[in-house]
Amino acid sequence: MLKGRTAIVTGSTSGIGKGIAEILAANGSAVMLNGFGESEAIEMQRSELAQTFNIEVLYNAADLSQASQCADLIEDSERRFGHVDILVNNAGIQHVAPIESFPTERWDSILAVNLTAAFHTIRTVLPSMRKSGWGRVINIASTHGLVASSEKAGYVAAKHGLIGLTKVVALETAGSGITCNAICPGWVLTPLVQSQIDRRAQSEGINLEEATQQLLREKQPSGRFTTVKQIASLALYLCTENASNITGASIPVDGGWLAQ
């Protein structure tokens, strides 16, 4: 389906990003991995993807909190692949605290990674996409890009901003063969969400199962986590020609969270 295409997936050494990288590779796209982790584990992931799907898989360790490294990630990918067709802005970090005690340095880092990094990667990759007349930009936002929750000022602000950025890019690229969309997952059982469950269990003196069910009952009427595979499958669809007239959309995958 994506033979001959090339993709960058930020934050792709774990969680949602890893799942998206895998499904793009499985459908023939070369992939540039990016993210933190142990070098041996990352190299194993890279080599397994390359060998399993017989495609080129590379890795760039860019720290997306640094603007210059965001641009370097795109430029390195263009240099090594020759062009970039698909950009998935997935990398994200979180911190939970009341706004009056929210550490200013955590606010700055969340905005840098969750929002500003996407600005820098998109502005750098668009000239190449415009030149080829085809491109897909997919921003992994969140239901928290559409509604708020207490004690998540940085994350909610960044994800709302990411959805606004998605709309602007969609308008500026309309009719060019490039689309830009946001996927808005509800609760997905990633390491980021597991850490929230762990904190809840510890603070309330309950076991992990009860903490998990509390989390789901509060927000997600389906009572089930969205899976990484479901998010990845939607990202793949947005890369196909069938989705060529979907742009500027914010697509919830949230078990009914936003229907309430």
Cα gap 200→112, rounded to integer Å? 26
The DSSP result for 115-154, as a single string, is IIHHHHHHHHHHHHHHHHT-EEEEEE--GGGTS--TTBHH
Q: How many alpha carbons fall within 13 Å on the CB side of residue 206?
A: 13
3-state secondary structure of 58: strand
- Given strand 178-185, what is the order of strands in its sheet? 57-60, 30-34, 6-9, 86-89, 135-140, 178-185, 250-253
Reading the block at residue 128, the tokens are: 């190449």
- Collapse the DSSP code of 15 into the 3-class scheme (helix H, G, I; strand E, B; otherwise coil) and give the result: helix
How many degrees, rounded to 5, is the angle at CA 106 between CA 70 and CA 66? Answer: 15
So which residues are the catalytic ones?
Answer: 155
Amino acid at 154: G
